[in-house]
């Protein structure tokens, strides 16, 4: 007898069965495979596919990964010395952010969590822009309001980072829906007026980065579900680095990582080796194609990694993991060494070039560092603007009260380091 | 790779010489300062002196003189500990004495990001003290369910700024459980939700907030903010024992800064009594948590400069709050100031001021003054002009007295 399809509206492709058999994923040893192009010795596994990257592109990717890691080392140390209040490094995850960003179109809209500085770097955020934000100076486009590493860039189509976890994931789904309507012409293209004619023709996707810890938040689940039901062109990129601050993945979930959840929401999914930048690039390129097929659909890419650094400068990870575990990982594999081995194998790279790159990059970072640190802080009026579109009457009263305090107690406040000094509020109060 | 990576030491050589310029030709000194520093000529806005503040018990004798402590505690021993250790001791005592008590939250198993749960998982086992997945909504809802089935869960939300995914669970579930269950009698009263709150100087938008007013606007919850280690230990133990769900907000700057002599044994402090920390005759200041230290410093300066006498009250429990103590004080002084970190509009100060206006109107010599966070978010480099400081409280005392 042929199998009978059920007619229940909630599971239309199901067949009736008379076998009582629970799905028991915890009893299964099968796991979703992890895609890679390069083995850990930097050798191409499938010669017919190759690296899918030109030598020039590979050199640029490597340069950006080195820049990110040097900036991280310096800024982590700078925080330790009290030069800035906070920092977060990307160690071990440089390939994910830089590789995936390199596979996107510049006009694609990106939402990040907080460990994706590489996306900014790859898209053209300059060292000066990084340093301006980190030192919250008057050139910081966040106007000194955010904690360090909470970058944002309208020009680069990356939304400003929030410290809250996973809140960006449903935003990405909604943004992707906005792009879907604009891609299909239901709504005219809304976007940066500076975009070239060529860029205006390009269909866009939204891209969302998050960690495996954030994927436990309700926002993740709601985001994937609504993205699937609205069939939005969104690439969800999970950085599964093994730890959410101290919490290991064994306390975070019991399924087969984050990738296993994609199927549950009816979303095309791939798991990738995050230490293999070529694999990340190929995966995201393909994800982008899929995301734009048939008007749009969400895609989930889980990039596997190991968080080599502490969670942030506020964390000492040796309180919850063995130093040897970290040292082993550093020795075994990481995205920089993997790519470097490949470049050396092709005769593109050697010790002399490495030394030169690191030395010149270090100088560039320090130059940007020094200039940004010296610069004044933003005008104190920025404390009150942009809460609402216009300053409210109550805010005016508050500003007047504070301006009065600043005027009567000048010695109690050192605002010389701010543009406009203690007079900043008065400027705004005088404006009608 | 390791050998080829420039050593941390060589990389940081430049950074270790803060005055050194990268370019030998350029001798300009960086004019930015470390991210939190007092103004050079400041007299009022100077760092708070926790070592000598009268708000902390620096001697065992002073700690044991507290009339709220039971007799046997007052005859016992004390030990000098900070606030996170006091929280840890309360949790330890609760776990030891009540098998229904559970302690869980994000990253708590290794001790928590503020060290409040140090060694508890090792000593009580991970059946009772455990990490949850990263979901405030999930872990708070989980706590409500456990409480509704008779357990006494103490759930930790890592920062008060991150409680909002759980807001539905707190506001619509925890707070309404007893009421909607009617005569079935089911409730989630064994629930305590702990969260670090408040400003530390560089927390910006998402590591600074004090959302207590949002919870006091929810019938069915108790909201507690301890000011010190002694208070934290006694109030947390009362919260865990309490048959209403309790939001227990710990000012995170005090975790390490506030150190005092704390009774070694367990004790409970009342969840509906404010405490008069200093008596005075001319003006009453009502506050809670960290700003109490700001107020205390401002009072010292104002009493010296103006020859006035200021009464300082710690609300301790923000709901239900002790109206009687506050009103009795204002009836005596005729003037009141309310101080809190969170935004002024619809904050706790509005409620306290309205109550004073309703019930002590004829005794008032001046309008009730609110010193609170301004109507904005706490931008990173602007925190010092947004969060109430000693100068603003000092000036409020002056204006209220001169009115």
**Is the separation of the CB atoms in B196 and B220 below 8 Å?**
no
- Scan residues 234-253 of A and list those with Cβ closer than 8 Å to B: 244-247, 251-253
How remote is the C-alpha of B345 from its chain's centroid?
Answer: 20
State the Cα–Cα distance between residues B202 and A385, nearest whole angstrom.
19
What's residue B113's pLDDT?
Answer: 95
Residue B292 has pLDDT above 90, yes or no: yes
Render pLDDT for B306-340 as a digit per residue (tens, 0 to 9). 999 999 999 999 999 999 999 999 999 999 999 99
Nearest CB partner across the interface for B375, out of A319, A320, A395? A395
> From CA B365, how far away is CA B336, in angstroms rounded?
9
The DSSP element (H or E) to which B393 belongs, if any, is: helix B390-402
Say how far apart CA A369 and CA A76 lie, in whole Å.
13
Rounded to an integer, what distance in angstroms lies between the CA atom of residue A399 and that of residue A427? 11
Q: Do A143 and B379 touch (CB under 8 A)?
A: yes
In whole angstroms, give the CA distance from residue A201 to residue B82.
Answer: 62
The secondary structure of A343-376 as a DSSP string is HHHTTS--HHHHHHHHHHHHHHHHHHHHHHHHSP
For residue B371, list its beta bridge partners: B339
* Contact of B209 with B161, CB cutoff 8 Å: yes
Average pLDDT over residues B261-283: 98
Q: Contact at 8 Å (CB) between A242 and A248?
A: yes
- Spatial CA neighbour of A278 closest among A58, A55, A97, A48: A58
Q: pLDDT band at B9, cuts 50/70/90? A: very low
A92 dihedral zone (left: phi>0; alpha: psi -120 to 50; beta): left
Of B89, B106, B136, B311, which is the active-site residue? B136
- How many other CB atoms are there within 10 angstroms of residue A373's CB atom? 19
Q: pTM (2 decimals)?
A: 0.94
DSSP H or E segment with residue B330: helix B323-333
Distance from the A428 Cα atom to the nearest Cα atom in chain B, whole angstroms: 15
CA dist., res. A67 & res. A121, Å (int): 9
Cα–Cα distance, A36 to A38 (Å, whole number)? 6
Phi, psi of A46 (to 5 degrees): -110, 100
Whole-number Å distance between alpha carbons of A131 and A126: 9
Query: Do residues B319 and B346 touch, judged by C-beta distance below 8 A?
Result: no
Contact indicator for B285, B349 with CB cutoff of 8 Å: no
DSSP letter string, B321-382 = --HHHHHHHHHHHS-EEEEEEEESTTSHHHHHHHHHHHHHGGG-SSPPEEEEE-SS---GGG
Q: How far is A61 from chain B (nearest CA, A)?
A: 18
Nearest CA in chain B to A409: B391
Q: Distance (Å) from the C-alpha of residue A16 to the closest C-alpha of chain B?
A: 34
Give chain A's residues under pLDDT 70: 192-200, 432
Q: Nearest CA to B82 among B49, B52, B115, B54?
A: B115
- Quote the pLDDT of residue B302: 98
The pLDDT tens digits for B77-122 are 999 999 999 999 999 999 999 999 999 999 999 999 999 999 999 9
Residue B46's nearest CA partner among A409, A17, A337 is A409
Q: Is A331 on the interface with B (CB under 8 A)?
A: yes
Asked if pLDDT for residue B26 goes beyond 90, the answer is no
Q: What is the mean pLDDT of chain B?
A: 92
**Contacting residues of A for B136, CB less than 8 Å apart:** 217
| Cβ atoms A252, B133 nearer than 8 A | yes
Whole-number pLDDT of residue A2:
76
Q: Is A102 helix (H, G, I), strand (E, B) or coil?
A: helix
Cβ within 8 Å, pair B107-A245: yes
Nearest to B355 by CA among B366, B368, B343: B368
A145 vs B: CB within 8 A: yes
Give the containing element (helix H, strand E) for B313.
strand B310-314
Report the distance separating Cα B51 and Cα B49, nearest Å. Answer: 5
Q: What's residue B13's pLDDT?
A: 45
Q: Considering the candidates B57, B93, B187, B207, report the single residue annotated as catalytic.
A: B207
CB contact A84 to B (< 8 Å):
yes
Q: Is the pLDDT of residue B15 over 50?
A: no
Q: Which of A371, A361, A382, A376 is nearest to A414 (CA)?
A: A376
pLDDT tens for A368-423 read 999 999 999 999 999 999 999 999 999 999 999 999 999 999 999 999 999 999 99
For residue A199, the model assigns a pLDDT of: 67
Q: Which residues of A are the active-site residues?
A: 77, 163, 311-312
The 8-class DSSP code of residue A209 comes to E
Q: Provide the pLDDT for residue A193.
A: 58
3-state secondary structure B91-155: HHHHHHHCCCEEEEECCCCCCCCCCCCCCHHHHHCCCCEEECCCCHHHHHHHHHHHHHCCCEEEE
Classify strands A234-240 and A109-111 as parallel, antiparallel or unpaired: unpaired
3-state SS class at B278: strand
Structure tokens at A373: 């640190």
A373–chain B Cβ distance below 8 A for any pair: yes
Q: Has residue B44 got a pLDDT over 70?
A: yes
The CA-atom distances, in angstroms, between B337 and each of A173, A254, B295, B299 are 47, 53, 10, 12
Using the beta-carbon criterion (under 8 Å), do B134 and A383 form an inter-chain contact?
no
| Residue found under tokens 């759930």 | B155
Task: Say which of A146, A219, A411 has its CB closest to residue B42.
Answer: A411
Give the Cα separation of A122 and A301 in Å (integer). 19
Asked if A45 contacts A37 with a C-beta cutoff of 8 angstroms, the reply is yes
Give the mean model confidence (pLDDT) for residues B109-136. 98
Q: For residue B283, what are the β-bridge partners?
A: B310
Condensed to tens digits (0 to 9), the pLDDT of residues B168-195 reads: 999 999 999 999 999 999 999 999 999 9
Q: With bands split at pLDDT 50, 70 and 90, how would you rate the model's confidence at B22?
A: very low
Shortest CA distance from A315: residue in chain B? B113
A337 and A43 in contact (C-beta within 8 Å)?
no
Return d(Cα A325, Cα A290) in angstroms, integer: 37
With CA atoms as reference, report the closest residue to B277 among B213, B329, B354.
B329
Contact assignment for A374 to B109 by CB distance below 8 Å: no
pLDDT at site B20: 36
383-402 of A, contacting B, C-beta below 8 A: 383-384, 387, 392, 394-395, 398-399, 402
Alpha helices (runs of H) in A50-126, residue ranges in sequence order: 55-80, 94-102, 117-123
CB B343 within 8 A of CB B209: no
DSSP label at residue B258: -
Q: What are phi and psi of B51, to 5 degrees?
A: -70, -25
Q: pLDDT digit string (tens) for B343-359?
A: 999 999 999 999 999 99
The three-class DSSP label of residue B367 is coil
Quote the CA–CA distance of A232 and B136 in Å, as a whole number: 27
Which chain B residues have a beta carbon less than 8 Å from that of A412? 39, 42-45, 389-391
What's the CA gap between A202 and A222, in Å, rounded?
A: 28
β-strand A268-273 against A299-304: which pairing, if any? Answer: parallel
| Residue from A127, A143, A216 whose CB has the most chain B CBs within 10 Å, to mutate | A216
User: Which of A146, A213, A362 shows the shortest C-beta gap to B205?
Assistant: A146
């Amino acid at each position: 007898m042929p199998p009978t399809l059920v007619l229940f509206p909630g599971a239309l492709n199901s067949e009736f069965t008379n076998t009582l058999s629970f799905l028991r994923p915890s009893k299964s040893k099968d796991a979703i495979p992890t895609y890679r192009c390069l083995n850990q010795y930097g050798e191409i596994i499938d010669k017919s596919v190759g690296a899918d990257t030109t030598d020039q592109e590979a050199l640029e990717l490597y340069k950006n990964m080195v820049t990110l890691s040097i900036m991280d080392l310096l800024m982590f140390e700078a925080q330790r010395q009290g030069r800035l209040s906070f920092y977060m490094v990307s160690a071990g995850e440089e390939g994910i952010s830089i590789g995936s960003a390199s596979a996107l179109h510049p006009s694609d809209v990106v939402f990040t969590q907080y460990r994706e500085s590489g996306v900014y770097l790859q898209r053209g955020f300059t060292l000066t822009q990084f340093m301006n934000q980190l030192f919250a100076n008057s050139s910081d486009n966040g106007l000194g309001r955010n904690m360090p590493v909470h970058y944002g860039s309208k020009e680069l189509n990356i939304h400003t980072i929030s410290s809250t976890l996973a809140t960006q994931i449903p935003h990405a789904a909604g943004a992707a829906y906005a792009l879907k309507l604009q891609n299909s012409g239901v709504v005219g293209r809304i976007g940066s007026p500076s975009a070239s004619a060529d860029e205006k023709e390009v269909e866009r996707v939204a891209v969302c980065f998050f960690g495996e810890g954030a994927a436990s938040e309700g926002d993740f689940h709601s985001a994937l579900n609504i993205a699937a039901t609205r069939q939005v062109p969104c690439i969800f990129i999970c950085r599964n680095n093994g730890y959410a601050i101290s919490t290991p993945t064994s306390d975070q979930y019991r399924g087969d990582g984050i990738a296993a959840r994609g199927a549950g929401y009816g979303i095309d999914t791939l798991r990738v080796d995050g230490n293999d930048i070529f694999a990340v690039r190929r995966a995201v390129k393909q994800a982008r194609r899929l995301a734009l097929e048939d008007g749009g659909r969400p895609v989930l890419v889980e990039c596997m990694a190991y968080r080599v650094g502490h969670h942030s400068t506020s964390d000492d990870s040796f309180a919850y993991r063995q130093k040897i575990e970290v040292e082993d990982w550093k020795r075994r594999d990481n995205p920089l060494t993997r790519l470097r081995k490949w470049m050396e194998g092709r005769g593109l790279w050697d010790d002399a070039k490495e030394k030169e790159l690191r030395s010149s990059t270090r100088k560039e970072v320090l130059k940007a560092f020094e200039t940004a640190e010296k610069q004044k802080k933003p005008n104190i009026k920025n404390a009150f603007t942009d809460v609402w579109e216009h300053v409210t009457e109550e805010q005016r009263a508050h500003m007047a009260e504070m301006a009065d305090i600043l005027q009567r107690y000048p010695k109690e406040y050192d605002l010389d380091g701010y543009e406009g000094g203690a007079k900043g509020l008065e400027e705004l109060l005088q404006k009608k | 790779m390791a050998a080829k990576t420039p050593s941390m030491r060589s990389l940081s050589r430049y950074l270790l010489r803060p005055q050194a310029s990268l370019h030998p030709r350029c001798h300009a000194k960086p004019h930015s300062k470390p991210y939190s520093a007092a103004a050079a000529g400041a007299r009022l806005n100077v760092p708070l002196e926790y070592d000598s503040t009268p708000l902390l018990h620096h001697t065992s004798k002073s700690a044991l003189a507290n009339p709220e402590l039971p007799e046997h505690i007052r005859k016992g021993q004390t030990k000098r500990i900070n606030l996170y250790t006091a929280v840890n001791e309360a949790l330890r005592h609760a776990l030891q004495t009540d098998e229904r008590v559970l302690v869980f939250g994000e990253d708590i198993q290794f001790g928590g990001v503020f060290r409040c749960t140090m060694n508890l998982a090792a000593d009580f086992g991970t059946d009772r003290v455990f990490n949850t997945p990263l979901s405030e909504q999930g872990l708070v809802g989980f706590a409500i369910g456990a409480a509704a089935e008779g357990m006494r869960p103490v759930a930790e939300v890592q920062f008060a700024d991150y409680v909002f995914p759980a807001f539905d669970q707190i506001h619509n579930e925890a707070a309404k459980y007893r009421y909607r269950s009617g005569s079935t009698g089911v409730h989630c009263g064994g629930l305590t939700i702990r969260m670090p709150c408040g400003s530390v100087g560089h927390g910006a938008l998402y590591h600074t907030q004090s959302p207590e007013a949002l919870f006091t606007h929810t019938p069915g919850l108790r909201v507690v903010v301890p000011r010190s280690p002694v208070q934290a230990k006694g109030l947390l133990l009362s919260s865990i024992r309490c048959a209403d769900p309790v939001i227990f907000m710990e000012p995170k700057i005090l975790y390490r800064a506030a150190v005092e002599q704390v009774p070694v044994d367990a004790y409970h402090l009342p969840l509906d009594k404010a405490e008069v920390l200093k008596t005075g005759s001319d003006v009453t200041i009502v506050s809670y948590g960290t700003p109490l230290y700001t107020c205390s410093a401002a009072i010292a300066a104002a009493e010296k400069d103006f020859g006035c006498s200021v009464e300082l009250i710690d609300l301790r429990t923000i709901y239900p709050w002790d109206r009687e103590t506050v009103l009795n004080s204002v009836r005596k002084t005729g003037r009141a100031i309310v101080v809190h970190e969170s935004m002024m509009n619809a904050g706790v100060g509005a409620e306290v001021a309205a109550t004073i206006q309703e019930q002590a109107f004829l005794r008032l010599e001046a309008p009730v003054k609110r010193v609170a966070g301004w109507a904005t978010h706490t931008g990173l480099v602007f925190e010092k002009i947004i969060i109430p400081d000693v100068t603003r409280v000092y000036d409020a005392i002056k204006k209220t007295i001169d009115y």
